[in-house]
Structure 1
Amino acid sequence: MAREQFEEIVETFEFLDDWEDRYRHVIEMGKAFPPLDEALKVPATKVEGCASQVWLVPTVEDGRFEFEGASDAMIVQGLIAVLHALYAGRPLDEVLAVDAQAELARLGLDEHLSSQRSNGLRAMVQRIRETAKRAAA
């Protein structure tokens, strides 16, 4: 069910043998992710439950989910890019149908992130799902 961009990440992770290389790849993805306008870094867009500062700005256009995001931590910025590859551009019903835990497990993230990072990742997924649910209602 994952999108092509996410499948490319899965393939890259399969190619990279070492978790440190995968970690660096996630950081590089974060560096390449478009920056979030500072004016959008407000309490309403901040994701609670993350160890670092995280902002997600979701939008729904023509029934498709999109979002911008940012973090003050490089690895979390990369995780935002991973979530973008998983969710962005999907119709709302598909966003709600994604089993994020299973998809992210394909990358081995569940095994290699600290519990705080994992909690933050879950909080970002929850924000995405809540936004899609509200927009679909």
Structure 2
Amino acid sequence: MKSIQEIQNQIISEFSELTDWEEKFQYLIELGEELPEYPEDKRSDAYIVPGCQSRVWVCPILKGETLTFYADSDTALTKGLIAILIRVFSGHSASEIANASLGFIDEIGLSKFLSISRRNGLSSMVNQLQGYAKNSKT
């Protein structure tokens, strides 16, 4: 399994091959389309990420020491954003997730090219995922 940093480096490399923001946004949308089916019984307010303009659901599953996340959103771009975060975090320990620094967000330019409301939503998603990790540490 790759480390959180190795996954971030891989994402940076993938985005560096895309020439403009139209291609980058399209790639994010494609990543969102590849998310596994979200469990219908988890599509409730208990799993909503607060602070997002779009509706975003995140469900954490703890197996042993490892957290896996399932997510969905009602908008294509936001679904891509949560997909990329899940790619970075899923399959790692709660401690690794809780302490991870996400330099790739600035590195691929998301902070610069997303609207303020989407940046705030992205930050809320990161906080929610890391919050699940902090709360599941034993």
- Checking the alignment, whether the CA contact within 8 Å between 1:45 and 1:55 is kept in structure 2 is yes
Shift of 1:35: 2.1
Which amino acid counterpart does residue 110 of structure 1 have in structure 2? S
- Checking the alignment, whether the CA contact within 8 Å between 1:36 and 1:69 is kept in structure 2 is yes
Q: Distance in 2 between matches of 1:103 and 1:8?
A: 9
Shift of 1:11: 1.1
Shift of 1:99: 1.1
Moved more, 54-63 or 1-10: 1-10
- Checking the alignment, whether the CA contact within 8 Å between 1:46 and 1:54 is kept in structure 2 is yes
- Checking the alignment, whether the CA contact within 8 Å between 2:12 and 2:104 is kept in structure 1 is no
Q: Distance in 2 between matches of 1:97 and 1:61?
A: 19
Q: How does 1:52-131 map to 2 (within 5 A)?
A: 52-100=54-102, 102-131=103-132
Identical positions, percent: 31
User: Unaligned stretches of 5+ in structure 1?
Assistant: none
How large is the RMSD of aligned CA atoms in angstroms?
A: 1.4
Give 2:9's aligned residue: 7
- Structure 1 residues 49-92: Cα deviation after superposition (integer angstroms, max 9, x where no partner): 10001000012111111110000000011011100111011111
Give 1:32's aligned residue: 34
Shift of 1:130: 1.2
What's the TM-score, normalizing by structure 2? Answer: 0.91
What's the TM-score, normalizing by structure 1? Answer: 0.92
- Checking the alignment, whether the CA contact within 8 Å between 2:55 and 2:74 is kept in structure 1 is yes
Give 2:21's aligned residue: 19
Which amino acid counterpart does residue 94 of structure 1 have in structure 2? E
- Checking the alignment, whether the CA contact within 8 Å between 1:36 and 1:70 is kept in structure 2 is yes
